[in-house]
Every structure is written in C-alpha cells, then in structure tokens.
Homo-oligomer: A and B are copies of this chain.
Amino acid sequence: MEPLKGNLIFGQSGGPTSVINSSAAGVFLEALEHPDIIPRVFGMRHGIEGVLKDELYDIGQEDKKELELLLGTPSSALGTCRYKLADPDEDDRDYQRILEILKKYDIRYFFYNGGNDSMDTCLKVSRFLKKENYDCRVIGIPKTVDNDLEGTDHCPGFGSAARYIATSIAEVWQDTHSYNQPMAVVFECMGRHAGWMAGASALAGLIGCGPDLIYLPEIPFDREQMIRDAKKVLEKKNVVLISVSEGIMTADGRLVAEELSARETDAFGHKQLGGTAVLLADLLGESLGLKVRGIEFSLLQRAGAHLASGTDIEEAFAAGREGVRTAMAGTSGVMMGFARPEEGPYRTEIIQVPLAKVANLEKQVPRDWINAEGNGVTKEFIDYCLPLIQGQACQKQEEGLPRFARLKKVLVRD
C-alpha cells in the first residue's frame, strides 16, 4: 500500500511532564525525514485550542539542533490546554472546525500527546473523521506522570517523576537523619486517584533512604491509623518519613486535604491553607509532639527534567518516532503503548493500543502491590518501577543551568 500523502500535525495536552517534549522530538524528527510522504509538519499552539483557533506552528522552520534539545526540556514546548471536546452527537461544531482546518492544511496525520482525556479527544476526532470520510491517520502518544493509562505497561513521564521523587526523598532522608532529634516529615506526591507516584517513593528504600510509611489513594485513609503507624516507627527510630498521594481519601470518599481543612475552618469561614503534606505534618506534630515538616513536590516533580530518567526520555522519544512510522504504515485510531516481557531483563516493545481501550479510563495500583496494612508497597511494585528510573538525562548545560530548546515557533500564515 502506498503511504497516505499529506501533512502532519502534533499537539500536547494536559499537565506537562519532564519528557513530553521528547515525544514531540520523536514525532518531529521522524516526520521531517519523510518529506515525500509528509511535506509539512505542524505543531498545535496550546493543543487542540490551536487547531480550533487556526494557530499552528510551522515545525519545518525550526533548527534540527533545537528540536533535539527538546529531549532535555521539560513541560510542553508548544503549549498545552485542558480543553475537553463536546460529545459530537450533541454538538459537533468543534469537530467541523477541526475538519475544516485539517482540510485547509491538507493534514493527513493527526497526533495528540496526553493522558486519558487526550486519548478521548483522539478517539472522538478519529471517529468523526471516519464518519466524514476524511482520510487521516489519528495517533495518540501517551504521557502522564500519574502513570494511570490503561493498555500500556507504563506511561512516559512517570519514570522521570519517580526518579525525581525517590532521589529527593533520599536526599531529605540524609538531611533529617543528621540531627539527633525526633522528627516527622510528610512528602506529598501528585496522583489524585492512582498512587503510582507516591508508591515510587519506596525506590529510595533500595539505597536505605526510603519513607517508612506510604499512603495511596487506592486505600481509604484513616488519620488515626497514620498516627499509630508513625508512633510505631518512632519506637524504633528517631525520624519517620511518610509519603502520601495528594488524592488520599477517607473511607467516606472525602479528600483528606478537605477533611483536615474543614476541621480547622472557623465560624467566619476562614479556611486553612496548605496542601495535604502540611496538614498531615501538623496533625502529627500535634498528636506526637515532635518537630515536623510538610514537603509538597508540587510542580517540581513533573518539571524536574534535570533528573529525568534516561530510559523514560528514550521511550518517550521512541513512542513519537514509532507513532509516525505506524501511521505511515497505515494504522490509525491507536495509542502507542509499551509492553514488557514477563520474564527476563527489562526491555520494552512498542505496541498499538486501540484508543477506545484507553480513553477516560484510569489504571490504579493493584491491591496486591500494596502491603496488607495499606501503608506501603510490595516488592512487585518496586520491581515494576525500578527499570523505569534507570539512565541519566544528558541535559545540555549553559552557564551552569539547563540549555532548554529555543523554538522559533513561527505561526503558519494563510
């Protein structure tokens, strides 16, 4: 079969990661290699919003060297968005507009890089274009620090965030254990419904510097239990380190952050500030009478490209590159995913996952990868994560600081 000839568009969506730009580099550098099939390569300005607004970047005008520097540049270089397309059966105006733009620029390759919402966008666009008989390959590229996409062994972005969290906790372990005084530290990791990132804290335990307790959103959170758990740790050692997901919830389905804030809300409606880490640290301080710290990794954990995992960067790049090859080979309506063999050393195979198997679903940490007490993860969890954080990012430097890609971002004019 002759490959479909036409232009390619790529967009980034949802929360940034340390390696979402590596996937962009994979798509761009591969697509630019095939001008006979793909004459022009475009980038969406702020994801799908850029399509709706007819704001496309002309990637052909970028220096190849700068595109390569995307491998060390965190966040979404093209800009991101959180725009959710309507159900096309109810309101198809956005889709008509997308089709109009695709036709205008003769785009036959539509690439979208994001999480489960973005795969939903991909799926809806793919179905609409098929319905309208517009021949176009639609490919999803996965990314999310949350690691919660179905159909793939893991997601680009997670390994780097995991490495950031484990390294940072190990360093803080060294700091807090240098004092001869009791202390509790609570770390807050991203993850609203899935505890992959907080679980990855346990990797620091491999070098003897891990958290003592880990609480994930998969298990209902009981603050009295946490206090008892912490007390038990403190019977044996001076310092207790606790890692939690931002999304931990009580048994009745309330976010712990809300529950604890409410506890302190007064008659005037003043509300306590501070995330879960600070609130829990304060609770421990009150209950156990010791020095506490709450440390929220905030945006640092998903932007910390200087600590990105080399494996993650390579895989994110490969997902983009293989996506282009897959599309040129005639496949559409899939997300590029990863499979790993059940036995033997870690390696990944890039697989094609039907978008419908990914869109809007969330993969949580399996119950049997969490310990019986619900305050830690098992060896299976660690064995799963460990290969994902291997390899160092070879980030270029200038002035002792990261040399990020500097894209020209030339908007396509009519």
Contacts and interface: CB of A to CB of B under 8 A. Distances in A.
Interface of A: 12, 16, 46, 49, 73-77, 79-81, 163, 166-168, 170-172, 174-180, 185, 203-204, 206-207, 209, 264, 266-268, 270, 272-274, 278-279, 282, 293-296, 298-300, 302-307, 309, 386, 389-392, 397-404
Contact of A273 (B172, B274, B390, B401): B274
Contacts of A306: 167, 171, 306-307
Given A76-B178, A306-B306, 12 more contacts: A46-B179, A46-B180, A80-B178, A171-B304, A171-B402, A206-B399, A207-B402, A209-B404, A274-B278, A278-B278, A295-B296, A386-B399
B390 A400 contact: yes
B403 A397 contact: no
Contacts of A185: 299
Contacts of A76: 178
Contact of A401 (B81, B299, B389): B389
A305 B178 CA distance: 15
29 contacts: A16-B178, A73-B174, A75-B171, A75-B178, A79-B178, A79-B179, A80-B179, A166-B400, A167-B402, A170-B401, A170-B402, A170-B404, A171-B303, A171-B306, A172-B299, A174-B303, A175-B299, A176-B299, A204-B401, A207-B398, A264-B270, A266-B267, A273-B273, A273-B279, A273-B294, A293-B298, A293-B299, A386-B399, A392-B397
B206 A401 contact: yes
How many of these chains are in the complex? 2
Contacts of A203: 399-401
A19 to B, nearest CB: 13
A399 B168 CA distance: 15
B295 A174 contact: no
A391 B401 CA distance: 9
Contact of A266 (B266, B282, B293, B391): B266
A168 B171 CA distance: 16
A267 B268 CA distance: 9
A282 B299 CA distance: 17
Given A274-B278, A403-B207, A79 B180 contact: yes
Contacts of A268: 266-267
Contacts of A204: 401
Nearest to A282: B273
Contacts of A403: 207
A167 B303 contact: no
Contacts of A392: 397
Nearest to A298: B295
B273 A207 contact: no
Contact of A305 (B75, B163, B171, B303): B171
A299 B172 CA distance: 6
Nearest to A45: B180
Contacts of A16: 174-175, 178
A274 B281 CA distance: 11
Contact of A174 (B74, B180, B398, B400): B74
Contacts of A77: 178
A252 to B, nearest CB: 23
